[in-house]
Each structure stands twice: as structure tokens, then as C-alpha cells.
Structure 1
Amino acid sequence: MRRRRRRPRRGLRRRQRRRPRRLQQRLRPPACGDGIVQLGEACDDGNGDDTDLCTALCVPAGCGDGHLQPAAGEECDDGAGNGANAACRANCELNVCGDGDIGPGEACDNGPSNADNAACKLDCALAVCGDGHVGPMEGCDDGNAIDLDACSNACTVPLCGDGVVQASEACDDGDADNTDDCTDACTLATCGDGFVQAGEACDDGPDNSDGGDCTLACSVATCGDGHVHDQGSGDEQCDEGLANGPGHACLADCTLNVCGDGDLGPGEACDDGNLVGGDGCGPTCAHEACGNDLVDVGEQCDDGQDGDPDDGCTDACMLPSCGDGFVQPSKGEQCDEGAGNSDGGACTSQCKLATCGDGLVQLAVEQCDDGAGNANTHACKLDCTLGYCGDGFVGPGEACDDADALDDDTCSNTCKLPTCGDGLKQGAEACDLGPLNDNNGECTLACTAAKCGDGFVRAGVETCDDGNSNHHDACLNTCQIAACGDGVVRTGVETCDDGNTLGGDGCNAFCLRPKRVFVTSTTYFGSLLGLAGAQSKCQTRATAAGLTGTWDAWISTNVSSPATRFIKSTTHYARIDGPEIAQSWEDLTDGSLDAPIDVNEFGVAVSPSSVWTGTAAHGSALAETCLNWSITQAPNKGYDGRTDATDFNWTARSFALAATCGNYQRLYCFEQ
């Protein structure tokens, strides 16, 4: 008997059939319509249907793409054809009669103003005599061509009150009832005729007003009708119709959304329901920041913006400084234009009012200013104008100046004696180029050769020339304008100049030298021979390394501390090898350093070490100081810091970590 061959299980057959197909799907390159959002696709629903939320081009459907998406609320979409006067409007709504936009097949469209008695009728056709509707300027309109009936072909009403509709009459019912369809003036009843007819809630005639008790549509004014009812009995402040409500300019009760009503309206950053300050939301519904008497993030101080910029805190909540835009007379400021301060402006970079004679040229006001060097006989005169031939003063390069227009007297019109300037080098003349002689050229008006220091700026060669030999003022002896980084220390402006504008090399980018700091290469018992012994050790180490100046130890006793003893830096503090550890004394004593003090007096890095200090991070004395650094015996201890720390541990570790006075430890030394 033959054995029946077993069929593979149905599920197995299906999986085997699927495997090639799935493999094909994996190997198929990505493309729009595969149902997977790939790079460059915003969506991919895999159906190729342009009427859903993802088009066949794998971009999100939107009004104006030319595809009708009913699910998105579109009534039409003609793509680029959407717009004003088109069958499909810009918002993908059908252009219909009454929407205010004249569409295809419409002669007019005044929106809600369309009416059969208006210039544009309800069917968006222009009102004309004979259309059966009494339009503007018509007394009647019976829609026929009979000129002798109750309404003429010119739509005028005949005599009124005879009960017969004649020419010029819209109607004539022969009664005086103004509440029916024909008034006693033989006009068809209309809104605004002063009589309440069927379909009207009110009619005050000429007193109808969209701001009154009865609107122009003869409806009783109500909050929410889109008209501000502020006349008659009305007390509405606003009415934006369907737009009334929370968060809008007009609230649901037709009152204006104002600051302090508790509703966050347009233009308000906050609204806590009151006009009281100091609670986070100010009386103008703006978040409180500078001026709230609290030092917030980004503020250096806050005294409530009291209007006094010279009380230690400006109204910008910043500590006063020259250049902050506030004038602080107590700091010697005469002016402060903030970023507008300039040595060429009305307020100098030192916050002093520009004056003739201050050595700074005020642009558009002064032609020159050599400070104390100003003189009527110098290149720059006492009134800060440049000397010129004909000003009556014999200035540099002039042999004479008689301030007249005579060229044949003892002084020529070029301020030269008769010999100099004739183009011939004679006698004591160094040169004579005749008409080419120029105080700013190679031969001066006095027939002297141009040179640096003659008080004239030679074009193309010199950038300044103050006529003196002072190499440390605003003009170098090379007749170039002094600048930070030129290698020459400018008196009164720079404290150093190492020929570059790099920081971290002992002279910062503003040519101001920071006070130097090092940790000793040697270690000492806690018995330092008192404060004087510690100071002597720092001075000895500095001298050994060839460091000039006076040095003091970062050490405190029960009567002295760095906070009371040190000469505090007005610039920066930096290690011997250049990196800055603090920007000022305040920065030094705020509990953190910009870099650890781990370099000795020779500029060599030391391994992480402990340092005797007895001093807190803010520079004041701590209790444990090895009996004022005079003893080594236990159990006496001394507070110390760590050279590898930049937080408060650099100077004052906890009491539990204080070292016994018999330990060998280093000292911090600061330049004074």
C-alpha cells in the first residue's frame, strides 16, 4: 500500500510564499507611496490619494495645493486659481453670493449689505428700475413696463393717499396706517421709516444706528450682534460679535478686556486680577523684572528703579560703571552715553565731557586737539582748529602770517617770506618746491623737510604728529597713533603693553597688568613665625624667582586677614604663567576661581597640595591658625586649602579636614 504524501501545513506554506515577497519589499528602493516616511518626505500614507491629509507627492495636504480635501474642511481647491473674484477663494471656500467677494456670474457682492432694496441685491445682481424691488433712489418698482400704473417706468411714485397706485407711487392703500405694507407717504414699508412693520423688532427712523437702541437692520441692539451699543440706553464698551470672549479684546459681556480684570488679553504678558505690583505681574500687566527690589538672574542689584543712577544701583539693575549710560557724579563722571561713549564724541570713554584742550579730537566739532600742546602758534590752535595760512598766527611751517590778501607785502599769501616758496632752494632752506610746498607734504611751507616730530601729519607716512618727543602719549615718536599692543606703555591709559592684545600672558587685551599670584615651591611647618614670617617667606620666594614688587601671604591671624590687609586689584588676578584666576577682588572672594592656583613662583605646575591659609573664601580670618602661626604641637590645627580646587576649598576646607600644625604645607603669595 502506497503511503500518502504529507502536505506541508497550511501556515508553513503561507510563510514560505510570503518570504520572497517580504524580501522583495526589503530590497525595493524607498519611494513616495511606499507607506514609509523617508528622507525628503513630509508624510507617506502609501495610498496615492490626493484628497486625504497626505498627497500622492508625499507632502501634507493644504489649501492651495489644487486637491480637494473635504476632511480638512475644504469646499474647493483650484490651486493657483484660488483667490479674490475666483470661483474658489483663498481659504478654499466656494465663492458664493453674500460673501462680499464678486465671483464668477456675480455683478456685485456687498456681503451682509446685500438686500433687494440695496444697490446690490440678494442674488448679487445690480438693482435696476423694473426689477420689482425698490432700490436706492427709487420711489417704487413694480417690475413692469406700464408707465401709467401705480409705478412709472422711471420707478417714481404718483400722488399718495387716493387708494390708487399711480406714477411715482410704490403703493397707495388709502389709509394712514404706517404699520402695514404701505405707509401714509405711499411708500413701501422699509426698515428706517420710523414705523415697526412685520419682521422688524424696532424702527426709530432716522435715529436708527448700529450704536443705538435700534440698529440699522431694525433689530434690538444686543451684546454679541457685532455693533457697539453705546448710544441711547446702551453701555457697551465693545462688541466683536462671535469674537467676544475670554482672551479677546472684547469680553463676553461687551466690556473691554483691560489689565487687572484677571483675563489674559491681547498685548498682556500676565493678568492676575489686580493692579498691584510686587506679586510677579505689574500694574501694566507686564512680568516684573528689574525694579522689583529683588536681585533676579541677570541683575547685579535692584533698588526698585528709584530713578537715582548714582546710589550704587542703576535703573538697569546693574552696578554703576562708566559706559552704562547713567551719569554717576560721585564717581567723577560728567556724562555717560553708554555705547555712544567715544574719545571722538561729546562724552569720552572716561565719561568726561569733551572739551577743547583735553587731548581728544571731538569729531565734527574740533579739527584737532593736542591738549596742553594747543597754542595759536602750534599746529593745533587754542580753539582746537588747525592752524592755516591767513589766520593771523604764525604757525608751524609758516615763516609769517599777516592775515591779509596782499601777495606783494612782507609776507606772501602762502605765509612765506619772499624767498621761501619761490621754488629755489636758498640759504637756510632745506627744500623749496614752490607751489608744491605743503605742511603735510615732503617740504613744509617754511621750506623745511618733513620729519616725524615737526607737528604735521604727513599724508601716507604718518598717522599723527604731536610735535613732541614723548614716546608714551597718544602719538608715538614714530608718528603712529598709540594703541594697545604696540609694545609701548601709554601713560595714564595702559599699565603694560607686551606687543599683543592676547589675554593670559601677564598683560591683558586692554593693556592692563593683573596682580600676580603663585603657590610656593617650598613647604613649611604651621609655625611660620607669625604673619611677618609668612610675608617674609613669600617675598623671599618671589625674589628668588626674579619677581619684582611687594608680595604678601594669603594668611590670617586673629588681628589681620587678606580682606583687611591686601591692596586689592582694580584689574585682574593671574598666575605667574599667565592664566587669570579672578577678574577682580570681588570675583576672587566670591567662593570660586577661574583657574586653580597650582603654579609656583618659577611658573612650574605643582602636584595637588595643601596650603596654609586660616582664611575663609571671602578673605576673612578663620579660628584655627596654629595659634597665629606660632606653634607646631598637636592638637593645634590650622585651616588650609587645596591647589587643585577652584571652589571654596581652594582656601578653606572644612574644620574636619584642617591640618595639624606639624604638617609641611605650601603658602599662597599675592602681589600687592
Structure 2
Amino acid sequence: MTQLRSAVAVALLCGCTLPNPAFNDRGAGDGDTGDGDQGDGDPSTGDDDPGTGDGDGDTTTGPGTTDTGDESTDTGDACPPALTDCDGQCIDLTSDNSNCGMCGKACGDHEVCLASDCVPVKYVFVTSVPGNGQWGGLEGAAQLCGELAGNANLPGDYAPWLSTADEFPAKTYSQIGPYVRTDRVIVASSWEDLTDGTIDAPIDRDESGAPIQPSPAPGCQLQYAVWTGTTNEGEYTEPNCGDWDIDASQQSKDGVVGDAKSQVAWSTGALCAQHCSAELPVYCVQQ
């Protein structure tokens, strides 16, 4: 007891930590390793060894480490296989207008990125000016399309998505895409895509790129109706307000309309026809 008190006094004077006698009693452990019933206290082989990674305090290989642990930050989150890292953003180089085919390659004002290439577009829009079925024939509707496109500084010539028995889009259109809205959202990547029955996005923007205003067709229960007289495939269908050149006061005349908010019934509106006195817009398509 006198020796123990002397050791305590020496430890206090030198500022050292006094060894725990329990860890010095090797005789009560499991042989040479010192693994007793109270757990492994040997700093070279026990659970608290910072060199082996077996203990709770391991900083080299255990959970929460920075090289192989659960919270590793060595490599970071990579972009998915279909995307490419462009300045910290995961980008689809096949369709991004600002990074087309490679990071930093931007498409022009009247181009979109399609299959990693910048390609010229054909604009399609809904006229901001409605009219009844008396358009003055296809020529009168085409004149309106051209005027509105010019006012919006859109390039090229435009034709209305209207049909007569002799003239209809599948017969007279240039049939070269891709077709985009005036906000550059792709409607169809080609003529075949435009006329396969379903478009990629509804045509619900006017010539300026603004969202269209309601144009109700009560007879068809549509809030955004558009005169067409045309099937989704670009073919002529009846009725068509007397080839779009009748006196709107003729009460017996109707015209097939489309739904500008639909990707399926965009041209036919389920083959619904509205009375020709209704004030509705038309689609205009760049040629």
C-alpha cells in the first residue's frame, strides 16, 4: 500500500496518467493476448485499436472514413451513363441546345440539337388572331400566317394546317422537319413523326412564343379548339366550312377542329366539327 501511494504521488507531480492496474494484470486474461472477460484492452490487437480498423474509433477503414467508408468523398457522384458532366452539370449532349454533341457547343437561334447535331427547324404555331370559317380559302389563311410570322420575326414561309379535297398537307407540304414550337420545344423530329398519330408536345404557343388564349368550341366541348379539316396524318377530312370560303351566316356549315392542348387529338379533336361561325385560330407551319 505504501508503494502504491508513492506511485500516485510521483504521477501527480510529473503530470502523467496513471496506468490502470487492471490492464497490467495479464494473469487473469486469455493468455498472452490479454483478452479478458471485460473485452480486449490491448491497444495492438483489441477493439479500440486505431491501426487495425476493427475498433469503433478506427479512422482508416471503418464507416465514415474518407477512403473506403460509407461516406466516402473520394470520387463523388458521377453522372448517369447517358449524361456528360459539363461544368458540374449532367447534360444530355444529344438534345441540349447549349451543349450539342460536346460541352459548350451551342446551336443557333433557329436550330435545335437533335441526335447530337444542330439542325435547322421548321416552326409551327397557333395564330394569335382567330377567325370564323370564312378564311377566303387556303390563300387567305396562308396570308394571315405569313403576316403574323413576319411580325414575330420568324424566318421562312408559312402554310395553314387546313385542307380541301384538292390541297392538303400530305400532298402540298415540304415535309422536312424537325418541327418546333416558337419556344423551341420539339413537336416532331420529322414529317413522319409529325403525322404518325401522336406529337411529342402540344402546339399551344402563338407566333411570339406566348401561351395561347382559350378558343372554345362548345359543340366539341373543347376550350382550345383550332380549325383544321385535316386528319393527324395530314389528309383531307370533311366537313371543312365549304373549303374555308363560305359566308359564316350559312347555318348548315361546320368544320373539323383539333385540340391545341392535346398530343393525340391535336388535328382531329376526335373528328368533332364546330359550326363555322365560331371564332377559332389555325395552325401555321413553316415550309
TM class by shorter chain equals 0.5 to 0.7
Distance in 2, matches of 1:504 and 1:517, equals 15
- Where relative contact order (Cα < 8 A, 6+ residues apart) is larger, the structure is 2
Distance in 2, matches of 1:520 and 1:538, equals 7
Q: Equivalent of 2:126, from 511, 519, 523? A: 519
Q: Which residue of 1 aligns with 2:112?
A: 507
| Residue identity opposite 2:187 in structure 1 | I
Distance in 2, matches of 1:667 and 1:561, equals 14
The alignment partner of 1:511 has SS state of strand
Q: Which residue of 2 aligns with 1:573?
A: 179
The alignment partner of 2:140 has SS state of helix
Alignment of 1:192-341 (within 5 A): none
- Deviation by residue 1:554-604 (Cα, 9 ceiling, x = unmatched): 0101110000010011x4111110110111101100110100000000010
The alignment partner of 1:665 has SS state of coil
Distance in 1, matches of 2:230 and 2:108, equals 29
| Conserved 8 A contact 1:505-1:577 | no
* Higher helix proportion (structure 1 or 2): 2
Change (3 A) 1:550 1:643: same
Q: Equivalent of 2:145, from 538, 546, 553? A: 538
Following superposition, the deviation at residue 623 of structure 1 comes to: 1.6
Q: Which residue of 2 aligns with 1:612?
A: 227
Distance in 1, matches of 2:251 and 2:187, equals 34
| Residue identity opposite 1:592 in structure 2 | T
Following superposition, the deviation at residue 505 of structure 1 comes to: 7.6
The alignment partner of 2:120 has SS state of coil
In the alignment, does 2:168 pair up with 1:561? yes
Following superposition, the deviation at residue 654 of structure 1 comes to: 3.4
Q: Which residue of 1 aligns with 2:59?
A: none
| Conserved 8 A contact 2:107-2:118 | no
The alignment partner of 1:542 has SS state of helix
| Conserved 8 A contact 2:122-2:179 | yes
| Conserved 8 A contact 1:505-1:579 | no
Q: Which residue of 1 aligns with 2:256?
A: 639
Return the TM-score normalized by structure 1. 0.25
| Conserved 8 A contact 1:520-1:600 | yes
Distance in 1, matches of 2:258 and 2:164, equals 16
Following superposition, the deviation at residue 516 of structure 1 comes to: 1.0
Q: Which residue of 2 aligns with 1:146?
A: none
Distance in 2, matches of 1:501 and 1:548, equals 20
Q: Which residue of 2 aligns with 1:593?
A: 199
| Conserved 8 A contact 1:504-1:579 | no
Q: Which residue of 2 aligns with 1:658?
A: 273
**Long gaps (5+) in structure 1:** 1-484, 488-498
| Residue identity opposite 2:260 in structure 1 | T
| Conserved 8 A contact 2:111-2:121 | yes
Following superposition, the deviation at residue 511 of structure 1 comes to: 1.2
- Deviation by residue 1:202-221 (Cα, 9 ceiling, x = unmatched): xxxxxxxxxxxxxxxxxxxx
| Conserved 8 A contact 1:596-1:644 | yes
Following superposition, the deviation at residue 544 of structure 1 comes to: 1.2
**Long gaps (5+) in structure 2:** 1-95, 99-103, 215-223
Distance in 1, matches of 2:198 and 2:117, equals 24
Q: Which residue of 2 aligns with 1:435?
A: none
Distance in 2, matches of 1:644 and 1:670, equals 17
Q: Equivalent of 2:240, from 611, 625, 637? A: 625
Change (3 A) 1:558 1:578: same
Change (3 A) 1:617 1:552: same
Return the TM-score normalized by structure 2. 0.57
The alignment partner of 1:641 has SS state of strand
Distance in 2, matches of 1:506 and 1:668, equals 21
| Conserved 8 A contact 1:504-1:578 | no
Structural RMSD (CA): 2.7
Change (3 A) 1:521 1:586: same
Change (3 A) 1:668 1:584: same
Distance in 1, matches of 2:145 and 2:107, equals 28
| Residue identity opposite 1:577 in structure 2 | D
The alignment partner of 2:117 has SS state of coil
| Conserved 8 A contact 1:506-1:576 | no
Change (3 A) 1:663 1:559: same
Following superposition, the deviation at residue 546 of structure 1 comes to: 1.3
| Conserved 8 A contact 2:110-2:120 | no
Q: Which residue of 1 aligns with 2:56?
A: none
Following superposition, the deviation at residue 506 of structure 1 comes to: 3.8
Larger Rg: 1
Alignment of 1:32-181 (within 5 A): none
| Conserved 8 A contact 1:504-1:574 | no
The alignment partner of 2:180 has SS state of strand
Distance in 1, matches of 2:193 and 2:128, equals 26
Distance in 2, matches of 1:620 and 1:504, equals 32
The alignment partner of 1:628 has SS state of helix
The alignment partner of 2:285 has SS state of strand
